Amino acid sequence: MTASSTDWSAPGLDSETRESSPLPDPDPAIDRPPMEVDIVCAGFGPAMGGFLTTLTQAWNDNPADPAFESRVMPGMPLQVLCYERADTLSAGVSGVVTQAKGIRSSFPDLNPAEIPMAVPVTDERVFYLLDPIGASRRSLPLRIGDFFLRLAGSLVLKDRAFELPWTPAFLHKKNGLVLSIGQFNQWVAECLMAGGLVQIWPGTPVAAPILENDAVAGLRLADQGVNKSGEPDHNFIPGMDVRARLTVVGDGAIGQVGAALNQNQNGAKCWAMGMKFVIELPEAAADSELRPGTVWHTIGYPEPEIFGFLYVHPDRLVSVGIFVPSWMGDPARTAYRYLQHFIQHPALWKHLKDGTLRSWGAKSLEESGRRAEPPLSGNGYARIGEGSGSTNMLTGSGVDEAWTTGIQLGEAVLELLRAGKPFTHQNLSAAYETRRRASWIERGAREAENARNGFHRGFIRGLIGMALTGLTRGKLSLPAHIPPAHRQIRPFSFFAASGIKLREAAELVLEDGRPLHDALMSARGWPEIPFDGRLLVTQQDALLMGGKVQAPPAFADHVIFRSKGLCLLCDEKTCIAMCSGQAITLGSDGAPVFEREKCIHCGGCLWNCAQSPDGVNGNIDFRAGAGGLHSAEN
Amino acid sequence: MANALHIVACAGIVPDPLQTLEPTLAPTGPAIRNEMVLPAMLDPWAACALYEAASLIAKNPGEPQNPSKLWLVSLTPKAKLQQVMMTVAQKLSFELVPIDGPIGGFTDAHSTAAILAETIAALPGLDRGKLLLFGGWESANRGAGVTLQLIGERLGITDQFQGVDQIELRDDGPFEVLERVEGGRHQVSVCAGPPAVLGWATGNLPEPRNNPQIGMDNMRTIMPVLQKAKTAALDTNSLRYVSATLPAQQRTTRVVKDMHPEAIAQEIVEWIGKDS
Ligand SMILES: Cc1cc2nc3c(=O)[nH]c(=O)nc-3n(C[C@H](O)[C@H](O)[C@H](O)COP(=O)(O)OP(=O)(O)OC[C@H]3O[C@@H](n4cnc5c(N)ncnc54)[C@H](O)[C@@H]3O)c2cc1C
Ligand code: SF4
Ligand code: SF4
């Protein structure tokens, strides 16, 4: 590929959208030292793990294979570099229970005991949780259903939970694994580095793809030594241009490289905030029913729309969490407090109450799957993992799917290298997309495509739609019109909070300065959290637990409010309610304020803005940034 | 100054202090729970030493046929060191000399020093007349804080400085060193020249920024040497640890608005006072 002047417009992105963004065009006068490699990769999650493992294993099998000869450094093996935004490779956040089909195909002799916190799945259950408090917003049909369950009493209920007599086949993770994503990624990275072919660099956010002549020519790394607004400051080091014949995009649901290539598809996506605790159970719990490998899925509580999970790792560690979806229209939606109410449900609390909080984390999931699938490849680039629409929302799994898309691209790249073919759109499409379309990933994605449609029309219709899709393997589903994320948030005035509740909440806000959404939950009847400093701690204290949040100095702010005027006029301020790190707070002038030091990079603000300056995207411009959670256990 | 320097920085690794660190009793003695699971980083004092070494070499590169050189010698578990290299190797150029050792810092400083001294003495191309031995003055890794001194003694280096915050090379060969002494003051010494041991306090330099080009160049040598790292036979029988305790730690969080900074300072002083 020849070097020419860089065009910063994304192919297909309409000009109006770009103009509404305050992102300054990179100063062409800045001298950016280029670096030439063969393959450059953005993001290190399971998808990239699968890709790099496939390349490394092939190289280790036959280092003399001429396909692995570097073009940029003749005589050396292929130069493959991967840049990860987070400070460590163990900083990911996820469940995880996975079938691990793809993972096992990469490691046929996998011994879960080698991966800390990993264990085979032993027991799977699904529970419908009743509301033991009476605060959750339940529709009339749901309340009628709850009434009959209560009437049947202990015949069907235990600890205010109804266990489904069977786990639907589509949810099954038989022969699967319970993992910690942090530990799994760290283990994969260790294997890769020991393999000797690839280099993985954490703490290095990629600012954007380099777009040239209708092709991606590499990645531009984020500037260092800049002030909050990104202007050069003390010790300025311009982000380097890492040029390569192939750029692999595996930066997940909220990655900015993927977003820059997304041809403006962001609008009609479904999202969820996954937030979790890692809890250490007391010694006495060792022989409780929570044995390692236990997997629980829950529905119904703390709000009907909020799904929950509990997975048991070895050594009395439990991952427990919830998903707050974008289709939960409540503008006062929040995850942290709901998670605290969730773990206090009698069915869970009886096991967890004497436990200790070890770690906490949150991350956005892209729930549209195949429906929002962007182009999988183009000239000079290919996309893998959740950002490529691989997450399956019927089976509730993304890790193995992401990993497998990585394997597929790895095999495709090997094929093209061996055939001496360039990484053009046509060649990548033939080698990678064809593999993917013919695989179980595509079949699953098609089945799952419309699984969650019904939820946009209510919880019960959502469950019916999901069951219909699951049981007919995607042949039948409910139709839905899915609006852009900002329009999935209903206006405050319209939503269930009556004027009285809002007034009550406002009084609480004035009294003790808490955020409005928190006060609103109290006004709606949710009891205050009985903080114990051990398991139930304030959100601010959670930032200091397990793997504390940190932002390295000298990087720019990565959360930008496009129009302050729009924020001042906005009643909902959902960005504040849903900010996982309380990094967005209300400023004294009534506009939200962002503090980089508290941001955990969950990406919640990307889809939790209630307004849009352009009718498609929210009012928040979410960019690549450094820092975040340091927990290795999530 | 035209004379080239040969700086050997000794650095161990420690679990990332942002993690929850829990002491526990393993069959081999006191340990940190699940240490292998936790991400690691360079021992902070030793990291300062390494940054100072790189800056000194940058200011004093030597001549093309006789260049200054920086080695990083580390006795740590290889898998963990590999992880740490992913962060450190983008920051500065060095030659890594890894020695595969056990996890955890409860090792006998004499035994550690013996292995490190032997490794340093055998470094190909190392000129003792140019040698500055750098390391941390203290260790965050439960070490006794004497390892560097012991390495120096084993190598027969008598000029030793501890708690160093600054080194200034003079044109004619000697250098001036600022060592920390009581009361936040520094003692100024002038040393005739290498060889010398410098145990660093925090120094004055910030962590260098990531430079991908340096990272790529470093990794080309780091990965092969890591794969071939020799294993250290540390003496595990000479010491018996009776117990280990964490430093007392407490945290109280309170959200306040519009409080005057002086009032906040006053409250913090009172809070600290309660502990003493
Ligand atoms: C709470 C929670 C529970 C979940 N439970 C399960 C489960 O039980 N089973 C399951 O299978 N899946 C589960 N998932 C989904 C699963 O975690 C994802 O589908 C999976 O991690 C996707 O992998 P990926 O490699 O595509 O992306 P990611 O894991 O998101 O990795 C992308 C990486 O790219 C990095 N990155 C982003 N932007 C940049 C940039 N600009 N520069 C450099 N690096 C960048 C990110 O830091 C990240 O490390 C869960 C998710 C959450 C949040
Ligand atoms: S970013 Fe502004 S417009 Fe969007 S929800 Fe927050 S306050 Fe409202
Ligand atoms: S500001 Fe940071 S922590 Fe808050 S929602 Fe956005 S990404 Fe998440």
Question: Of B114, B74, B15, B110, nearest to B229 (Cα)?
Answer: B74
Is residue B160 predicted with pLDDT exceeding 90?
A: yes
**Partners of A365 in beta bridges:** A272
Is A89 contained in some domain?
yes
Look at the block and give the residue holding tokens 């264990």.
A119
* E strand residue ranges, B170-256: 175-181, 185-191, 196-200, 230-231
* Chain B residues near residue A35 by CB distance under 8 angstroms: 212-213, 216
Name the minimum distance, in Å, from the CA of B87 to any CA of chain A.
7
Higher pLDDT, residue A3 or B133: B133
CA distance A85 to A203: 5
- Per-residue pLDDT tens digits for B47-98: 999 999 999 999 999 998 999 999 999 999 998 999 999 999 999 999 999 9
Closest ligand 2 atom to A610 CA: 5
Is A553 contained in some domain?
yes
CA distance A276 to A270: 20
Find out whether A97 and A152 touch, Cβ atoms under 8 Å: no
Ligand number nearest CA of A562 is 2
Is A415 contained in some domain?
yes
- pLDDT for the residue A27: 65
- Helix/strand/coil for B70: strand
Question: Of A319, A267, A312, nearest to A290 (Cα)?
Answer: A312
- pLDDT band at A443, cuts 50/70/90? very high
Question: What average pLDDT score do residues B255-270 get?
Answer: 85
Same domain for A464 and A419: no
Which domains does chain B possess? 6-231 (3.40.50.620)
Is residue B2 predicted with pLDDT exceeding 60?
A: no
- Ligand 3 center to A628 CA (angstroms): 10
CA distance A495 to A409: 45
- pLDDT for the residue A491: 84
Ligand number nearest CA of A587 is 2
Same domain for A224 and A293: no
Same domain for A422 and A536: no
Higher pLDDT, residue A548 or A4: A548
Structure tokens at A216: 């991606």
Q: Do A240 and B253 touch (CB under 8 A)?
A: no
- Ligand 1 center to A191 CA (angstroms): 19
Q: Worst-scoring range by mean pLDDT, A26-35, A74-83, A105-114, A345-354? A: A26-35
Question: What average pLDDT score do residues A223-249 get?
Answer: 93
Question: What average pLDDT score do residues A277-302 get?
Answer: 89
- Helix/strand/coil for A555: coil
Residue pairs spanning A and B at CB distance below 8 A: 101
Closest ligand 2 atom to A576 CA: 6
Residue among A85, A333, A584 whose CB has most ligand 3 atoms within 8 A, to mutate: A584
Name the minimum distance, in Å, from the CA of A203 to any CA of chain B.
7
- Ligand 1 center to A14 CA (angstroms): 28
Is A54 contained in some domain?
yes
* Chain B residues near residue A237 by CB distance under 8 angstroms: 209-211
Same domain for A354 and A398: no
Structure tokens at A338: 């709901």
Is residue A8 predicted with pLDDT exceeding 60?
A: no
Q: Do A548 and B257 touch (CB under 8 A)?
A: no
- Ligand 3 center to A604 CA (angstroms): 5
CB A98 less than 6 A from any atom of ligand 1:
yes
Question: Of A81, A87, A84, nearest to B223 (Cα)?
Answer: A81
Checking phi first, is residue B22 left (phi over 0); if not, alpha (psi -120 to 50) or beta?
beta
Find out whether A573 and A486 touch, Cβ atoms under 8 Å: no
Same domain for A82 and A195: yes
Question: Of B255, B253, B257, nearest to A587 (Cα)?
Answer: B257
Same domain for A461 and A530: no
Name the minimum distance, in Å, from the CA of B53 to any CA of chain A.
19
CB count in 10 Å sphere of residue B240: 6
- pLDDT for the residue A483: 86
Is residue A2 predicted with pLDDT exceeding 50?
A: no
- pLDDT for the residue A20: 32
- Ligand 2 center to A587 CA (angstroms): 12
Look at ligand 3, atom 6, and give the residue with the nearest C-alpha.
Answer: A605
347-406 of A, contacting B, C-beta below 8 A: 358-359
Name the minimum distance, in Å, from the CA of A355 to any CA of chain B.
15
Q: List the single residue in A with minimal CA-CA distance to B253.
A: A541
- pLDDT for the residue A15: 27
The answer for residues whose C-beta is within 8 angstroms of residue A341's C-beta and 6 or more apart is A133, A301, A302, A526, A529
Structural domains in chain A (count):
4
- Helix/strand/coil for A519: helix
Rg (C-alpha) for chain A, rounded Å, is 24
Q: Return mean pLDDT, chain A.
A: 89
Question: What average pLDDT score do residues A345-355 get?
Answer: 95
Is A112 contained in some domain?
no
Find out whether A86 and A93 touch, Cβ atoms under 8 Å: no
**Partners of B200 in beta bridges:** B136, B164
Is A30 contained in some domain?
no
CB count in 10 Å sphere of residue A588: 8
Same domain for A157 and A280: yes
CB count in 10 Å sphere of residue A564: 14
Question: What average pLDDT score do residues A282-302 get?
Answer: 88
Is A6 contained in some domain?
no
- Per-residue pLDDT tens digits for A153-175: 888 999 999 999 888 888 888 88
Ligand number nearest CA of A601 is 3
A416, with CB counted inside 10 A (0-12, 13-18, 19+), is buried
CA distance A626 to A224: 10
Look at the block and give the residue holding tokens 């390692």.
A292
- Per-residue pLDDT tens digits for B180-237: 988 788 999 999 999 999 999 988 898 899 999 999 999 989 988 998 999 988 877 7
Q: Do B209 and A33 touch (CB under 8 A)?
A: no
- Per-residue pLDDT tens digits for A372-400: 899 999 999 999 999 999 999 999 999 99
Range of the domain at A50: 35-93+182-265+374-445
Same domain for A273 and A241: no
CB A592 less than 6 A from any atom of ligand 2:
yes
pTM to 2 decimals?
0.91
Same domain for A199 and A84: yes
Q: Do B212 and A202 touch (CB under 8 A)?
A: no
Using a CB–CB cutoff of 8 Å, tell me whether B39 touches chain A.
Answer: yes
Same domain for A459 and A433: no
Is residue A227 predicted with pLDDT exceeding 70?
A: yes
CB A602 less than 6 A from any atom of ligand 3:
yes
Same domain for A493 and A608: yes
* Chain A residues near residue B220 by CB distance under 8 angstroms: 76
- pLDDT for the residue A444: 94
Question: Of B249, B63, B209, B42, nearest to B134 (Cα)?
Answer: B42
A412, with CB counted inside 10 A (0-12, 13-18, 19+), is buried
**Percent with pLDDT over 90 in chain A:** 68
State phi, psi for A101 to the nearest 5 degrees: -65, -50
Is A4 contained in some domain?
no
Q: List the single residue in B with minimal CA-CA distance to A548.
A: B18
CATH of the domain at A393: 3.50.50.60
CB A617 less than 6 A from any atom of ligand 2:
no
Find out whether A506 and A519 touch, Cβ atoms under 8 Å: yes
Find out whether A390 and A366 touch, Cβ atoms under 8 Å: no
CA distance A55 to A52: 5
The DSSP call for residue A388 is G
CB count in 10 Å sphere of residue B15: 24
Same domain for A511 and A609: yes
The answer for residues whose C-beta is within 8 angstroms of residue A60's C-beta and 6 or more apart is A195, A196, A197
Is residue B276 predicted with pLDDT exceeding 80?
A: no
**Percent with pLDDT over 70 in chain A:** 93
- pLDDT band at A348, cuts 50/70/90? very high
Residue ending a domain, choose from A319, A340, A369: A369
- pLDDT for the residue B248: 64
The DSSP call for residue A103 is H
Q: Do A513 and B255 touch (CB under 8 A)?
A: yes
Segment of A132-141, A258-267, A449-458, B106-115 carrying the highest mean pLDDT: A132-141
Burial A161-173 (b: 16+ CB within 10 A, else e): bbbeeebeebbeb
Structure tokens at A497: 């909070």
Using a CB–CB cutoff of 8 Å, tell me whether B272 touches chain A.
Answer: no
Residue ending a domain, choose from A391, A417, A445: A445
Structure tokens at A248: 């692999």
Burial A260-288 (b: 16+ CB within 10 A, else e): bbbebbbbbbbbbbbbbbbbbbeeebeee
Is residue A1 predicted with pLDDT exceeding 60?
A: no
CA distance B194 to B6: 9
Residue ending a domain, choose from A369, A389, A416: A369
Structure tokens at A75: 């005589």
